[in-house]
Amino acid sequence: MDRNSGEMALQSPLRLPSAADVDAARANIAGIARRTPLWRLDVQIPRADGPPANIYIKLENLQPLGSFKIRAAVNAMKTADPAALRKGVLAPSAGNFGQGLAWVAREMGVQATIVAPDGSAATKVAALEALGARVIRLPFDDWWTVMSSRKFDGVDGLFFHPVADSTVVAGNATIGAEILEDLPGVDTVIAPFGGGGLISGIGSVMRRQRSKVRMIAVESQAAQPAAAALAAGRPIKVSFDQSFVDGIGSATVLDEMWPLVRETVDQALCASFGEITNAIRHLALKHRIIAEGAGAAAVALALSGKAGGGDIVCIISGGNIDASKLSAILSGQDPF
DSSP one-letter string for 112-127: EEEEEETTS-HHHHHH
Final residue belonging to a domain, choices 159, 183, 213:
159
Query: Alpha-carbon distance 135 to 150, whole Å?
Result: 17
The predicted pLDDT at position 6 comes to 40
Largest CA distance in the chain: 60
**Domain-located, residue 336:** no
List CB contacts of 211: < 8 A, sequence separation 6 or more.
none
Beta strands 112-117 and 53-59: pairing type? unpaired
Query: Per-residue confidence at 11, pLDDT binned at 50, 70, 90?
Result: low
Q: Is residue 191 domain-shared with residue 289, that is, in the same domain?
A: yes
Report in angstroms the alpha-carbon separations of 55 from 97, 245, 277.
Answer: 27, 21, 18
Residue-wise pLDDT for 173-232, tens only, equals 999 999 999 999 999 999 999 999 999 999 999 999 999 999 999 999 999 999 999 999
Whether pLDDT at 42 is above 60: yes
Asked whether 159 and 91 are in contact (CB, 8 A), the reply is yes
Q: Is residue 200 domain-shared with residue 303, that is, in the same domain?
A: yes
Query: Alpha-carbon distance 47 to 67, whole Å?
Result: 32
Show the DSSP H helices in the chain as ranges: 19-29, 69-79, 82-85, 96-108, 122-130, 140-149, 166-182, 197-209, 225-232, 258-264, 273-287, 293-304, 323-330
Q: Is residue 125 domain-shared with residue 213, that is, in the same domain?
A: no
Whether pLDDT at 265 is above 50: yes
The predicted pLDDT at position 5 comes to 40
What 8-state DSSP symbol labels residue 160? -
Q: Average pLDDT in the 11-20 region?
A: 88
Q: For the chain, what is the mean pLDDT?
A: 92
With vertex at residue 241, the alpha carbon angle to CA 336 and CA 314, rounded to the nearest 5 degrees, is 75
Q: How many CB atoms lie within 10 A of CB 68?
A: 33
Residue-wise pLDDT for 77-103, tens only, equals 999 999 999 889 999 998 889 999 999
Of 18-27, 98-107, 114-123, 303-312, the poorest mean pLDDT is in 114-123
Q: Is residue 43 domain-shared with residue 26, that is, in the same domain?
A: yes
Whether pLDDT at 3 is above 60: no
Q: Is residue 136 domain-shared with residue 226, that is, in the same domain?
A: no
Q: Is residue 307 domain-shared with residue 250, that is, in the same domain?
A: yes
Query: Alpha-carbon distance 171 to 25, whole Å?
Result: 6
Q: Average pLDDT in the 89-118 region?
A: 92
**Domain-located, residue 256:** yes
**Domain-located, residue 201:** yes
The predicted pLDDT at position 7 comes to 41
Beta strands 38-45 and 89-92: pairing type? unpaired
Q: Is residue 94 domain-shared with residue 63, that is, in the same domain?
A: no
Helix, strand, coil shares of the chain as percentages rounded to 5? Answer: 45, 20, 40
Beta strands 134-138 and 112-117: pairing type? parallel
**Domain-located, residue 11:** no
Question: What CATH number corresponds to the domain at position 111?
Answer: 3.40.50.1100
Q: Is residue 180 domain-shared with residue 214, that is, in the same domain?
A: yes
Of 68-82, 110-124, 156-170, the poorest mean pLDDT is in 110-124
Per the structure, the count of domains in the chain is 2
With vertex at residue 86, the alpha carbon angle to CA 85 and CA 89, rounded to the nearest 5 degrees, is 50
Query: Alpha-carbon distance 114 to 163, whole Å?
Result: 14
Q: Is residue 143 domain-shared with residue 36, that is, in the same domain?
A: no
The predicted pLDDT at position 1 comes to 40
From 315, 316, 299, 330, select the one nearest 45 (Cα to Cα).
299
Final residue belonging to a domain, choices 104, 127, 159:
159
Q: Is residue 248 domain-shared with residue 225, that is, in the same domain?
A: yes
Helix (H/G/I), strand (E/B), else coil: 239: coil
Q: Is residue 121 domain-shared with residue 198, that is, in the same domain?
A: no
Q: Is residue 237 domain-shared with residue 292, that is, in the same domain?
A: yes
What 8-state DSSP symbol labels residue 258? H
Final residue belonging to a domain, choices 135, 159, 183:
159
What 8-state DSSP symbol labels residue 281? H
**Domain-located, residue 263:** yes
Domain holding 41, by residue range, is: 19-67+166-330
**Domain-located, residue 13:** no
Helix (H/G/I), strand (E/B), else coil: 205: helix
